[in-house]
Amino acid sequence: MNTHTSKLIHTMIRVRDLDSSIAFYQTALGLEIKEQFIFDGFTLTYLGNQATDFELELTYNHDVDNDYSHGSGYGHIAVCVEDIEESFRRLILLDMQPTDIKHLKHKDTHLASFFFIQDPDGYKIEFLQRSKRYR
């Protein structure tokens, strides 16, 4: 790796209810707490699993009672899974209300099969069938 190459290490989102968010990500994505740092005014919780070194950082501000707005710039977090149909059925049974599975083609070639769910704070998570592009 040259000195100009960067490595993605985490995505940070602000959450309103830390316990609900941790439970959601454990259940929906199989993420576990890797580290947690509690400060006077906020808590940083890093979630991950064995599939990757990439982490999701949950930032919980202790004295904030209002919902966070996502604005028009936030898109989604994406994960890939071995079996999109099985993941979809599992999340239906957990009442996580996934969107319908969609299939995306580019120039008559299948590019992706995917669906979305939302976490307790409204952040969208895209589930993609593991394939050539999405590993």
Q: Among all residues, which ones are annotated catalytic?
A: 126
Is residue 32 helix, strand or coil? strand
Residue 42 one-letter amino acid: F
Per-residue pLDDT, 132 = 86
CB within 8 Å of 10: residues ≥ 6 apart: 46, 54, 55, 56, 57
Q: Is 133 in the same domain as 85?
A: yes
CB 88 within 8 A of CB 101: yes
Q: Is 41 in the same domain as 60?
A: yes
Q: Is 24 in the same domain as 59?
A: yes
Residue 32 one-letter amino acid: E
Give the total number of structural domains in the chain: 2
Q: Tell me: the pLDDT tens digits for 105-116?
A: 999 999 999 999
Q: Tell me: the pLDDT tens digits for 66-101?
A: 899 988 888 999 999 999 999 999 999 999 999 999
CATH number of the domain that 87 lies in? 3.10.180.10
Domain encompassing residue 79? 73-135
Q: Is 61 in the same domain as 121?
A: no
For 38, the token pair is 């509690």
Q: Of the candidates 16, 46, 68, which is a domain's last residue?
A: 68
